[in-house]
């Protein structure tokens, strides 16, 4: 266990390689994420940013290399254990939110809690509290098709954080938003993650979004090219 030692990475990838057919997305990428840290992974389109995030979150397995989370080798864990981590320790936000269209904002946020066994009434109460943190008061009954892009992403962020994860993985969460919505979403994510002590690994091609992070690493052609303080 990490036991709060800030010098020991909570999440560490070493020499990851991953190919999608004939395309080599990762070519030996290594990166660390410490507890409570906000890390931005930047780079041009096609540089392997999303593939790196998916490997770190246990969504896909690398072809070679290792991913270690709090002393556990993620890349060798059985799917059942990975599912447990994604329901509890990990929260994931994608560019288009991927909310369930048939559910209201309240039920979208409550869903991870209910899947974890929490009674519906309690889950909805907690979901309402998290929506309020993200400025969605009065919009709890809206379905995704009735929300603006910014509202949908704030709902997705509330869903990612409602379980109290130790790490949030955000894959281009502002890529489909205008500048005002981007600022609102990033301000909410940064504030809420810091309040909760949650580590954030954010993938973005936007330098203004990356500026919210504590630290930035750049991925070029599947390899981490540099790490710079923000």
Q: What is the CATH number of the domain that holds 150?
A: 3.40.50.300
In a domain, 108, yes or no: yes
| Domain contains 127 | yes
Residue 209 domain-assigned (yes or no): yes
Quote the CA–CA distance of 137 and 29 in Å, as a whole number: 41
Confirm whether 76 is domain-assigned: yes
Residue 49 is part of which domain span? 11-229
Instruction: Classify residue 1: in a domain, yes or no.
Output: no
Note whether residue 124 is domain-resident. Answer: yes
Provide the whole-model pTM: 0.88
Residue 3 resides in a domain: no
Domain count for the chain, please give it. 1
Q: Would you write out the chain's pLDDT as a tens digit for each of its 230 residues?
A: 555 555 689 999 999 999 988 889 999 999 999 999 999 999 988 889 999 999 999 999 999 999 999 999 999 999 999 988 988 899 998 876 689 999 999 999 999 999 889 999 999 999 999 998 887 777 899 999 999 888 888 899 889 999 999 999 999 888 888 888 888 889 988 988 898 899 999 999 899 999 999 999 999 888 887 544 33
The answer to whether residue 151 sits within a structural domain is yes
């Amino acid at each position: 266990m990490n036991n709060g030692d800030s010098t020991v990475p909570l999440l560490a990838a070493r020499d990851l390689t991953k190919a999608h057919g004939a395309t080599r997305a990762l070519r030996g990428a290594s990166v660390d994420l410490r507890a409570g840290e906000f890390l931005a992974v930047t780079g041009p389109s096609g540089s392997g940013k999303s593939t790196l995030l998916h490997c770190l979150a246990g969504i896909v397995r690398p072809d070679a290399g290792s991913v270690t989370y709090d002393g556990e080798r993620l890349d060798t864990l059985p799917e059942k254990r990975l599912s447990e981590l994604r329901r509890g320790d990990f929260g994931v936000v994608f560019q288009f939110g991927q909310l369930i269209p048939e559910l209201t904002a309240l039920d979208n946020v409550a869903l991870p809690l209910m899947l974890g066994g929490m009674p519906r009434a309690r889950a909805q109460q907690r979901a309402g509290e998290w929506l309020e943190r993200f400025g969605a008061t009065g919009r709890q009954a809206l379905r995704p098709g009735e929300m603006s892009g910014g509202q949908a992403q704030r709902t997705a962020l509330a869903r990612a954080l409602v379980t109290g994860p130790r790490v949030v993985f955000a894959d281009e969460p502002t890529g489909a938003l205008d500048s005002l919505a981007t600022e609102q979403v990033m301000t909410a994510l940064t504030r809420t993650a810091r309040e909760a002590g949650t580590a954030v690994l954010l993938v973005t091609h936007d330098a203004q979004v990356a500026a919210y992070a504590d630290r930035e690493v750049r991925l070029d052609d599947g390899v981490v090219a540099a790490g710079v303080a923000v």
